[in-house]
Amino acid sequence: MSPHLPNRRKDDARLARDLQLFHVYRLLSTSYLFLPVLITFFVSRGLDFTHIVLLNSVYALTAIVFEVPTGALADRFGRCRAMMLGSLLMAIGCVVDFNGRDFWTFALGEGLLALGMTLTSGADSAYLYDLLGAYGKEHEYRRYEGSATGAKLFGAAAALVAGGFIGRHSPAVTYAATACVCAGAALVAMMMREPTFVREDDSDFLHGMAHAAKAVATRAPLRFAVGFSVLMFVLLRMGLYLYPPYLGKAGLDTAWVGIVLAILSVIGALGAQRIEAVRRRLGEARLLWAMPLALAVTYALCGRFVAVWGVALLAVQSLVNGLYSPFSKELLNREIADSGQRATVLSVESMARRLAFGAFAPIAGVLIDAHGLHTALYLCAGAGVTGVGLLVATSVRRRRRGLGDFAHEVTPTPLPEAADASDAADASDASDDRTPASASSNH
């Protein structure tokens, strides 16, 4: 027997254990039981819709302000610690809301929930990528990110169903139950082992955040991956606000709306778990424009037809939602050369997504108030079509520069000595866009 075989088996066992814990963490980390009764709970505690909207602004503003700093903290002090602390803060936020009776108490609770979310956002994906990298399995990231995203969506579906039943009798209890789930996620994170990655000096904290922002702004492949993620996030997140009124107009009561949303979450989970098969069948370049195109078409049809059968259109969007997370996160992680900046860069991307959604959502809200739900659905369809057009235009431009379809760069062909200065400049520009991922095989 080879002397390396026992060590290899030991490494495989350690990796399997950490992956199992990571999947359990994802299952628990965003299983919010209070979502089906969110509005009902706040109204029962004396808030009007103006105050409820302001609470959403508190959450969004907190997330935007702390997104990048908390990502940098995860890069300095460890991703597992960030995930553990984030889950604990979310548990505390739920306890604060459970005991809240006035706007400012709820504002504190929502701020803690947002702060906890920012600590886990980026840190979890960075942890998974570096965990696989420590065992030489980076090429399997998409598969494991897909299965972990599936676990998260299954957990969300179970929470929607459980929260709906619990909330019928006591909306407040859903917050207490969510606090227990988040505390369980923190315990799981405490049990996870931190993979090895290069950490920068603590004195470079602010410099690290600036460096991450600069990397996103100046590296074309990374900038594209962030832009793609922003487009998809805005279109998919709008569904959280548009699905319930659409289903209500289609004739479904509140109980059925909760059940349908849970079913849609399960469909997304199944899509996430099938990302590897879908990607192999369609290819990355085709998948890049097929996902926003599918969202654009289904939004347009939902705007034109309001009926129970429209649930099938929402199911298509949920399937895209499941594919989006593992696909976009792999594109991002593959373009991050410095592992010590991984969580920070991912937090920059997350902040960009939230800023874009914060600008887009009010426009949709104004259109709904002025002209009806269908106008917001058409707006999303138009944004999807515009996004597909930009993707195609970018693809044509990159091909002319000798580059591939965003996923794996193609090394430009060496220019002959007689090439003119303009050709040499184009070649230099193209070579700057190449990343370490270009040397690997197309997994």
pLDDT in tens, 365-375: 778 878 888 99
Residue 296 is predicted with a pLDDT of 96
Residue 380 is predicted with a pLDDT of 94
Q: What is the mean pLDDT of the chain?
A: 80
From CA 155, how far away is CA 152, in angstroms rounded? 5
pLDDT tens digit sequence for 119-134: 887 788 888 888 888 8
Q: Report the share of the chain in percent with pLDDT over 70.
A: 81
Residue 284 is predicted with a pLDDT of 80
* Domain limits, the chain: 11-400
Per-residue pLDDT at 421 exceeds 50: no
Residue 384 is predicted with a pLDDT of 93
Confidence of residue 255 (pLDDT cuts 50, 70, 90): low
Residue 175 CA from chain centroid, whole number: 23
Confidence of residue 442 (pLDDT cuts 50, 70, 90): very low
Per-residue pLDDT at 32 exceeds 50: yes
Of 264-273, 354-363, 370-379, the range with the lowest mean pLDDT is 354-363
Which residues have C-beta within 8 Å of that of residue 410, sequence separation ≥ 6?
402, 403, 404, 438
Of 203-212, 225-234, 310-319, 353-362, the range with the lowest mean pLDDT is 203-212
CATH code assigned to 11-400: 1.20.1250.20
Q: Report the share of the chain in percent with pLDDT over 90.
A: 26
